[in-house]
Structure 1
């Protein structure tokens, strides 16, 4: 629906507690050590477009400029099972918080999740922790994406002593992504638990500083023009200005600023005198 009589291309959007009518800008920058962090790509989309749906376009734009990275550090909003697979096919390792399992079995920490089931993809048979095999495995369409529904028999589930940890209904039902997406997502979740992930992902904090500088110093969130095309041009010019500022600081030998910390945080992190 039209959200403004002045610009028919702007739309209403909400992200957590932030509500606005307009557009959304996606910034990509380098984070290599020993040089300035320069913005390499700017993507402007209608505000309701979710982050992960813009990722393919961002990667295509970077590839066209010969700037496609080996590893792309991204916010959780860009990371999904299908995007992990698509990025890998382009030679990019998408690194970011993987989508969580929000089923009650996973949230309780005591239930049986999909990881506890033995999946035979060739035979299309799943085996539960109690040793019972699924009765059906068929295609399904879940939340706009292709999936598989795996159903177990009520004859096996209802008398099973493990049922309280498995399901609250008459029988267990599993919803599976395509095999490649399922296995890629599981690998991403396991990678996230490793210390190396946290160390590498810390570099992504720089883009938050870029967005903060763009908003506060260069009014990135205030469009001076009407329409998606002109707003995108403003975003590109703003990114170019930020690059010039950073190049000037690099040539002058100005080191990168450290992340600001509140006085309370500095006090809590200060060493305790002996």
Structure 2
């Protein structure tokens, strides 16, 4: 997509995307290759620590990239730093850091850091450029300014919902990529026609539907 936009001289400085496009690799590559800054929520971490109140996550550690050393919230430094290549379906470079049992075992924060009764905390994270890009995006989108800026996506989210709900945009009626693309273009045209018709007839915009369960939510 970015390559096509660049070829047409339509490359934006910022691109607001959903969580499916804010992986560390995409964040770095889009900036380095096309000068485009991706902005959007990062994927939810399924780790048990993210669900634990006060849980100590990777981003609570202070990383010194030059010294190849990590300091934990308990002010203890790592004792091992190892760069390695993670194999699998999506191979990537990773860094593993390990802390001392002598420091971790008596630590008052242990229950918020690891489930192991014996092993010390071990961290696995991406190289500096990708790690910092992901952390910056995560912190920015969680800030008031980031949330306010991200509201710009509300319009396209509504368009996607209309395309899927009213025009069957989630499924292709055809097999070839060319025909599928043609279907999407026709759906886009149909949405424009419907919106123009509603505007000319003075029809109000549809209100968001709230489920019965959501209506039970107690107002603050």
Do Structure 1 and Structure 2 share a fold, with TM-score over 0.5? yes
Equivalent residue number for residue 218 of structure 2 = none
For the structure 1 residues 122 and 256, does the alpha-carbon distance in structure 2 shift closer, same or farther, using more than 3 Å as the test?
Answer: farther
In 2, Cα distance between equivalents of 1:120 and 1:179 = 10
Count of aligned pairs: 206
In 2, Cα distance between equivalents of 1:257 and 1:70 = 34
Backbone CA RMSD of aligned residues = 3.1
**Residue 161 (structure 1) aligned with residue 108 (structure 2):** yes
**Match of 1:123, SS?**
coil
Q: Could you tell me whether the CA contact under 8 Å between 2:163 and 2:169 is conserved in 1? A: yes
Equivalent residue number for residue 128 of structure 1 = 72
More helix by share: 2
In 2, Cα distance between equivalents of 1:166 and 1:216 = 44
**Structure 2 residue aligned with 1:151, among 76, 98, 106?**
98
Gaps of 5+ in 1: 1-57, 269-274
**Match of 1:236, SS?**
helix
Bigger drift between 73-82 and 220-229 goes to: 220-229
For the structure 1 residues 213 and 158, does the alpha-carbon distance in structure 2 shift closer, same or farther, using more than 3 Å as the test?
Answer: closer
**Structure 2 residue aligned with 1:98, among 29, 34, 42?**
42
Structure of greater relative contact order (alpha carbons < 8 Å, 6+ residues apart): 1
Q: TM-score, normalised by structure 2?
A: 0.76
Bigger drift between 223-232 and 74-83 goes to: 223-232
Q: CA deviation at 1:240?
A: 4.8
**Structure 2 residue aligned with 1:112, among 56, 61, 79?**
56
Q: TM-score, normalised by structure 1?
A: 0.63
For the structure 1 residues 256 and 209, does the alpha-carbon distance in structure 2 shift closer, same or farther, using more than 3 Å as the test?
Answer: farther
